[in-house]
Amino acid sequence: MKIHEYQAKELFRQYAVPVPDGAAAGSVEEAVAIAGRLGYPAVVKAQIHAGGRGKGGGVKLVRSENEAKGAAATILGMTLITHQTGPEGKVVRKLLVEAGQNIAEELYLSLLVDRETASIVIVACREGGMDIEEVAARSPEKIIKVRVNPLAGLQSYHLRELAFGLGLAGNAMKSLAGLVKNLYRLFVDNDCSLVEINPLILTPEEILIALDAKVDLDSNALFRHPALLAYRDLNEEDPLEVEASKFNLNYINLDGNVGNIVNGAGLAMATMDIIKQAGAQPANFMDVGGGATAEMVENGLRLILKDDKVKAVLINIFGGILRCDVFAEGVVNAAKAIGITVPIVVRMEGTNVDEGKRILTASGMNLTSAVDLRDAAAKIAAAVA
Ligand code: GDP
Ligand code: MN
């Protein structure tokens, strides 16, 4: 789960990771009041679940009440387009107003889970700021990576390795050690998958402050953190994906026009591959789960048909826990209840498959049966051609 910068900074404060003074605002008046309290210069920042806001015009330094009012009015409600939002952009519904900082240098720091080495890796770079991707591409040797064994935890030698790598000494080194220790605790305590600070600024007093904050939480661990659930912002999520999550369906919206309903994530991946091979494009990924019920298939079908770009639906089910005859009855009932207007191709295999096929044929509905995956792919590609 992604959270906003102002929420990430609330977490940072709880763990004594230094951040600028500031507060979130939902209106221009509120933003101006916060800036007035902080003093000028202040910074007005768009709060969306995407980076690259600075370059997209979503971060403005303001030096007076008039400028604060102007920046807040421009940014609040705007559709902000950055390299991470896609061309449709994201509507800004909240601002973060902060005290302007004196920047001597912009660094980069992040913590993430590295599956390959089963460790928490700390990534740092002396040249942070808005062009970190460019630095990584042009001079990868400038990116420092320190791996921490999660069972042994963070050790002082990790901190020294980081400080030497970054070329920090004295106060800056002390500041880094304290910050990384606290950030590591935050990361583990909250089951984060990513914490990124870009830029991490060095002030003229040699103190490090997190000017930006990005925190991604492992959704599978959220049940352990009820307080963090309050950070979820449904405005930032795909509405169909939000609805699917209510029915326990794993649903991801994609760009093509073939709707897919499949039981099991592996089977869903294979289904997307094979329909692409046949020349069709998936409109979504939907895994109704290995233990799906007929009702879940009906909910899935209903949801997929709300998506205007879907021109045909492929249902691919392996009948194990869910028997094919029960599933077929579910599909027929769902199709009748929903009133389907697009072609549907059904491929099923497994327990009671013959009885399932008999039910589909006897229904007299416009359902095409496929004998196997390849046949299903060819039939669905023909349906949308
Ligand atoms: P992002 O573009 O979405 O990653 O947003 P950031 O929070 O990183 O802000 C983008 C840029 O705005 C930073 O790299 C800074 O250069 C600049 N910026 C943000 N806050 C301040 C500030 O307090 N003072 C100054 N001078 N620049 C700031
Ligand atoms: Mn940033």
Give the CATH number of the domain where residue 271 resides: 3.40.50.261
Clarify whether residues 255 and 130 are in a common domain.
no
- Residues 294-317: b if buried by 16+ CB within 10 A, e if exposed: bebbbbbbebbbeeeebbbbbbbb
Q: Residue 68: which CATH number?
A: 3.30.1490.20
Residue 66: burial class (beta carbons within 10 Å; 0-12, 13-18, 19+): exposed
Q: Which of 42, 67, 100 is the last residue of a domain?
A: 100
Long-range contacts at 57-63 (CB < 8 A, ≥ 24 apart): 58/82, 58/92, 61/100, 62/35
- Nearest Cα to Cα of residue 283 among 220, 221, 241: 241
Identify the bridge partners of residue 177 per DSSP, sorted by sequence position.
Answer: none
- Residues 6 or more apart whose CB falls under 8 angstroms from that of 239 comprise none
At which of 185, 203, 236 does a domain end? 236
Specify the pTM.
0.84
188 CA → ligand 2 middle, Å? 22
Domain assignment of residue 4, given as a range: 1-20+102-236
The answer to whether 164 and 75 have CB atoms below 8 angstroms apart is no
Residue 353 and residue 253 in one domain: yes
Q: Are residues 294 and 199 part of one domain?
A: no
Sign of the Cα torsion 49, 51, 56, 57 reads positive
Question: Residue 334: its pLDDT value, please?
Answer: 84
Q: Which residues surround ligand 2, an ion (CB under 5 A)?
A: 198, 212
Catalytic residues: 108, 196
CA of residue 268 to ligand 1 center, whole Å: 41
Dump pLDDT digits (tens) for 168-226. Answer: 999 999 999 999 999 999 999 999 999 999 999 999 999 999 999 999 999 999 999 99
Count of structural domains, the chain: 3
Residue that terminates a domain, selected from 236, 266, 292: 236
Tens of pLDDT, residue by residue over 25-45, are: 999 999 999 999 999 999 999
